[in-house]
A and B are shown apart, each in its own frame.
Chain A
Amino acid sequence: MIRYLLGRVVGGLITLFCVTGLAFFATALAPGNPAAVLLGNMATPERIEAITRQLGLDQPLPIRYGIWLRETLLGNLGTSNVSFKPVADLLAAAAFPTIQLALTSLIVAVVIAIPLGLVLAQNRNRWWSRPASSLITIGISVPGFWVGLMLIVLFSVTLRLLPSAGYVPPTKDVLGNIRSLVLPVTTLAIYLIPSLVRFVRVTAISVLREDYVDTARAKGTAPAAILLRHVAPNTLVTTITYIGLQLGVLISGAVVVELIFSIPGLGRLGLNAVLNRDYPVVQGVVLMAATGYVAVNLLIDLTYALIDPRVRAR
């Protein structure tokens, strides 16, 4: 068990190293010079060269990555090339809205999708099962940003019930915070739910064909109890892994939703940093997203061991 977890942690660290390295070289490959962006209209070749040297961008790429890696390991993420604020501060300010948005959406999606998928699987032979599944397929094909825009049109523009944009921190106004998140969370959850429902449904259908479900029926257990006691936990084992893999979708979905609803989160921070060639901030955002991804998947491995005794035995 300990060895199993240790293996996962080491694997996670290797993943972080690879992802940040890849991001570092990929952003450097993109055309555009940060010094030129910074100077804008005042750019002359001499000034650009001076700033480039000042930012340390005249060094070869591997050396720059080495420096970044050393500084990061020492806890220093550097300062923004644009605002000259410490990257750590920028990340700290942007992280909370994103985490709140992503986590709430994920919880909402899971709470809705898992029971829905189980019920659809249980009733797979009923007449309404097929149309319901088709509806889900349609749901998968609808782009997330379109749903967001439609929600804004309906609830903000026409009904004037909810704000169309902006983010109110919970420290300032709890109710305002909730109101500002209703539409973004709904958008992101609607984006996540269909594929999750489909996955749960397919998995639960295959679990329902397992021999131990026959055993449970031969015991005289009621269908609802079979679903809850035998099918749901076995479905969950695979579904949790799937949710972990879907985190990338969640993160990219959050970026889009943040842009639509003008939420000052990591997505917006990262996108602006890419457009400005603000390398330290790009690296910071990538590191943050990758760490989140690795951490959550580690947590999932732990949960996995909690549910499945066979994993614990390893």
Chain B
Amino acid sequence: MTALLDVQHLSVTLTREGNAASLVDDVSFSLNAGEILCIVGESGCGKTVTARSLIGLNRTDPRFALTGKIGFDGTDLLSLDETQMRKVRGSKIAMIFQDPMTSLNPLHRIGAQIGEVLRNHTDLGARAIRERTIELLAQVGIPNPASRVDDYPHQFSGGMRQRAMIALALACSPSLLIADEPTTALDVTTQQQILALIDGLRHQYGMAVVLITHDLGVVAGIADRVMVMYAGQCVEAGPVRDVFRAPQHPYTAGLLASIPAANRIRTPRLPSIKGAPPVLTEGRPRGCAFSPRCNHAFGACIERPDLEGADHVYRCWLSGGARAHLAIEAGRVPA
């Protein structure tokens, strides 16, 4: 089975006032149809830039330079010109954003904003578009969709707006949905509903999902695969069960240790990772970017490690024995 999405050596460089900063550095991953990949990491680690690169939101900005390959359904998206890419956006790849309060145009009716996708990519007439829009709103759980379709965004609550955004994304039955922290701006009960909705719809539509989050609880609940990013690089990636049970990178172990969860091995204080991630626009640290914050750093970390492993990959110099110990540190196995 060939992967739906096959990203190879993706790098994104931002050049501003003569300074070039590498925001995404040699990231590779692949994703099969119907799978959910979660990208996790701290703010500014390149998660969002990676996601926006997939759908090509930053490619027209002359300050961004993208290299590598984004294989999608057999074509390299980076080789497409902007007109071809526009045909992919909204129809085969759709995206929903972090803040549903600002991602809908306040001056247009909900229905018109969803209908715009259908107008862009289908030959449907006005009536058919309206019917399909109402159907979509019903599917994402908006009550009274036939009357709500004519509402303006300010008449919708935050959770309903995110539902409307999901309806908008689903309009053309895309094979890939990119969700950039879709629940961060919502309250906890709504978060669960939205995630359950996304999970249900991916089964129904058979679409792959790239979900960006910094909530590892979400990852455990919904994802098939997980990719941990640090300072623009993939530091660890693999099937969720493997990564959670046996983290191979100290950063992943640190993230896992800091989840407040009932099944975690109790310590008097919730562990945290010391220090703060590097600011990528100020230059990348030499060698392993995590080494200044790592409890296990040693001489080899001055050199940059490569990605090791096959299905479960990691970027760390530690020996197998030392890495096996990380699961205990993560609080996954009793010491």
Contact = CB atoms under 8 A, between A and B. Distances in A.
Interface of A: 125, 210-212, 214-223, 229-230, 233-234, 237, 307-310, 313
B284 interface: no
Interface stretch (B104-112, B287-295, B306-314): B104-112
A219 B107 contact: no
A221 B152 contact: no
Given A221-B120, A309-B152, A215 B165 contact: yes
Interface stretch (B81-89, B203-211, B257-265, B318-326): B81-89
Nearest to B117: A219
A220 B117 contact: yes
B57 A218 contact: yes
B61 to A, nearest CB: 7
B105 A218 contact: no
Contacts of A313: 154-155
Interface in B97-149: 97, 99, 102-108, 113, 116-117, 120-121
B89 A219 contact: yes
Given A211-B97, A309-B152, A310-B152, A218 B55 contact: yes
B61 A219 contact: no
A239 to B, nearest CB: 14
9 contacts: A211-B103, A212-B105, A215-B95, A217-B89, A219-B168, A220-B120, A223-B60, A234-B107, A313-B154
Nearest to A233: B107
Contacts, number: 77
A210 B89 CA distance: 18
Nearest to A223: B60
Contact of B90 (A220, A229, A233): A220
Q: Which residue among B55, B103, B152 has the maximum number of chain A CB atoms within 10 Å of its CB?
A: B103
Contact of A310 (B90, B95, B106, B116): B106
Q: Which residue among A211, A215, A229 has the maximum number of chain B CB atoms within 10 Å of its CB?
A: A215
B9 interface: no
A220 B97 contact: no
A254 to B, nearest CB: 33
Contacts of A210: 102
Contacts of B107: 233-234, 237, 307-309
Contacts of B117: 219-220
B86 A212 contact: no
Instruction: Give 7 closest A-B pairs by Cβ, nearest first.
Output: A220-B90, A220-B89, A219-B90, A211-B103, A211-B102, A309-B152, A212-B105
B122 to A, nearest CB: 11
A212 B103 CA distance: 4
A237 B86 CA distance: 28
Nearest to A310: B154
B94 interface: yes
Given A218-B57, A219-B117, A309 B106 contact: yes
B93 to A, nearest CB: 8
B57 A217 contact: yes
Nearest to B88: A220
Task: Tell me the dominant secondary structure on chain A's binding face.
Answer: helix
Nearest to A308: B107
A212 B100 CA distance: 9
B63 interface: yes
A234 B86 CA distance: 23
B91 interface: yes
A215 B120 contact: no
Nearest to A236: B107
A223 B86 CA distance: 10
Nearest to B89: A220
B299 interface: no
A214 B154 contact: no
A215 B86 contact: no
Contacts of B105: 212, 215-216, 230, 234
A230 B108 CA distance: 9
A218 B104 contact: no
A222 B90 contact: no
B62 interface: yes
Interface in B30-71: 55, 57, 60-63
Nearest to A215: B103
A60 to B, nearest CB: 54
A215 B152 contact: no
A220 to B, nearest CB: 4
Nearest to B93: A218
Nearest to B87: A220
A258 B86 CA distance: 52
Q: Which residue among A210, A212, A214, A219 has the maximum number of chain B CB atoms within 10 Å of its CB?
A: A219
Contact of A220 (B61, B121, B152, B155): B121
Nearest to A309: B152
B226 to A, nearest CB: 24
B116 A221 contact: yes
A223 B91 CA distance: 17
Given A220-B90, A229-B116, 12 more contacts: A125-B63, A211-B99, A211-B102, A214-B97, A219-B89, A219-B168, A220-B121, A221-B120, A223-B60, A309-B106, A309-B152, A313-B155
B331 to A, nearest CB: 37
Contact of B120 (A219, A234, A309): A219
A3 B40 CA distance: 50
B154 A218 contact: no
A218 B152 contact: no
